[in-house]
């Protein structure tokens, strides 16, 4: 997630520079054909171009609105994960006690039980964020050269390690092997949490009503995980995404066929008043065409990168940063040595990952 004050014009130019080169080439080729080669019949009236441009603008607007809704929903889901995680940490600290125990446990054992529940929850966060970072066939963010450059600059934490390595210090050897055998690691971990709570209830280390409250928190975590997976696994309808891309390309190619002749006509009308400048007015159509094409293309690309809010773009939900923040909160609840608790993930180029 981008945290700077604003995107600069320079940033946007660098991000879309390859498309700009294409727009310049298209405009230049057509201008040469029209003005130098003499193919003056290469012209179309403004009306169809305006109609296509209007349709493209509506489609891009719809795409951007839908992409924003997906990103905002994803952020609300992970905000819920933050709240439920803190609730889980607080409840495990206060509800695992000897108050109703059949055979009281030592304080060291109680602390160990609490630590296992907390660390297993961190493992659940780890499994979920790794699952959200997996690339789906419909995710196109990495297909753009400039997006690949961006990812190399900032790096995604989940790509610098493996799920197995991240889970190893958080689970017992038996649980670690059990979780790795499952397709959905996060679901398996929540199932282990429920099983552990039941065992504590049967020993009386968790009161029956407290057990129900803790199970409700697990149910909410299941719910939030399902919502997050729904956004990850259900793509923005590809017919809209594909059509917006194709329509923008059609518009960009047709635009100079309508714009350049208009500038040529403008130059002819100025030939008497400004005979020196008039012959070159037609070439001014190139920057005009490039600017209009760039605006439409950039809006389309903004919508495209916002379709899937877990890919790792600058505007995505910073799930790695959120998960690290939760881990810090939970381990501080355990009163662990601050030197053993990881630091928050750094903000690189004003971006939280």
Mean predicted confidence (pLDDT) in 45-70:
87
Quick: pLDDT tens for 207-221: 999 989 999 999 999
pLDDT (0 to 100) of residue 175: 95
pLDDT value of position 244: 83
Q: What is the pLDDT of residue 3?
A: 60
User: Mean pLDDT over residues 293-305, rounded?
Assistant: 86
What pLDDT is stored for residue 7 in this prediction? 63
- Cβ(159)–Cβ(217) below 8 Å: no
HSE-CB at 38 with a 13 A cutoff on CA atoms is 0
Rounded Cα–Cα distance for residues 308 and 311 (Å): 6
**Band of the pLDDT at 75, cuts 50, 70, 90?**
very high
Check residue 5 and give its pLDDT.
60
What are the residue boundaries of the structural domains of the chain, listed by start?
A: 9-335
**The pLDDT of residue 2:** 58
Tokens of 87: 């609730």
Q: What is the pLDDT of residues 123-139, one digit of tens each?
A: 999 999 999 988 888 87
Angle at 204 between CA 198 and CA 205, to 5 degrees: 80
> Whole-model pTM?
0.87
**Where is pLDDT greater, at 150 or 82?**
82
Q: From CA 154, how far away is CA 12, in angstroms rounded?
A: 17
Q: What is the DSSP letter of 321?
A: H
Q: Would you state the structure tokens that stand for residue 168, as one six-digit string?
A: 């190893």
The pLDDT value given to residue 241: 74
- Tell me the average pLDDT of the chain: 87
């Amino acid at each position: 997630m981008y945290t700077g004050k604003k995107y600069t014009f320079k940033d946007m130019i660098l991000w879309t520079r390859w498309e700009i080169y294409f727009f310049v080439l298209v405009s230049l080729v057509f201008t040469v054909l029209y003005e130098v080669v003499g193919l003056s019949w290469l012209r179309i009236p403004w009306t169809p171009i305006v109609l296509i441009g209007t349709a493209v603008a509506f489609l891009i607007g719809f795409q951007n609105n839908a992409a924003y809704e997906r990103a905002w929903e994803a952020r609300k889901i992970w905000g819920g994960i933050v709240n439920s995680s803190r609730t889980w940490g607080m409840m495990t600290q206060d509800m695992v006690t000897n108050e109703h125990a059949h055979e009281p446990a030592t304080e060291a054992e109680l602390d160990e039980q609490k630590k296992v529940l907390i660390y297993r929850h961190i493992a659940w966060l780890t499994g979920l964020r790794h699952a959200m970072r997996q690339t789906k066939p419909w995710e196109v963010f990495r297909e753009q050269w400039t997006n690949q450059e961006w990812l190399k600059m900032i790096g995604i934490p989940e790509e610098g390690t493996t799920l197995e390595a991240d889970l190893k210090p958080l689970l017992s050897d038996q649980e670690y092997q059990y979780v790795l055998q499952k397709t959905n690691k996060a679901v398996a971990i929540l199932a282990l949490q429920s099983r552990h709570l039941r065992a504590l209830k049967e020993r009386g280390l968790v009161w029956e009503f407290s057990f129900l409250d803790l199970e409700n928190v697990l149910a909410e975590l299941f719910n939030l995980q399902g919502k997050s997976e729904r956004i990850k696994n259900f793509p923005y309808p590809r017919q809209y995404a594909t059509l917006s891309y194709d329509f923008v390309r059609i518009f960009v190619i047709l635009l100079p066929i309508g714009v350049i002749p208009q500038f040529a006509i403008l130059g002819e009308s100025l030939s008497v008043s400004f005979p020196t400048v008039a012959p070159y007015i037609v070439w001014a159509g190139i920057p005009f065409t490039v600017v209009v094409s760039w605006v439409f293309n950039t809006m389309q690309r903004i919508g495209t990168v916002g379709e899937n809010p877990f890919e790792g773009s600058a505007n995505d939900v910073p799930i790695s940063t959120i998960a690290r923040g939760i881990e810090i909160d939970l381990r501080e609840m355990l009163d662990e040595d601050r030197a053993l608790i990881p630091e928050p993930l750094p903000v690189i180029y004003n971006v939280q990952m």
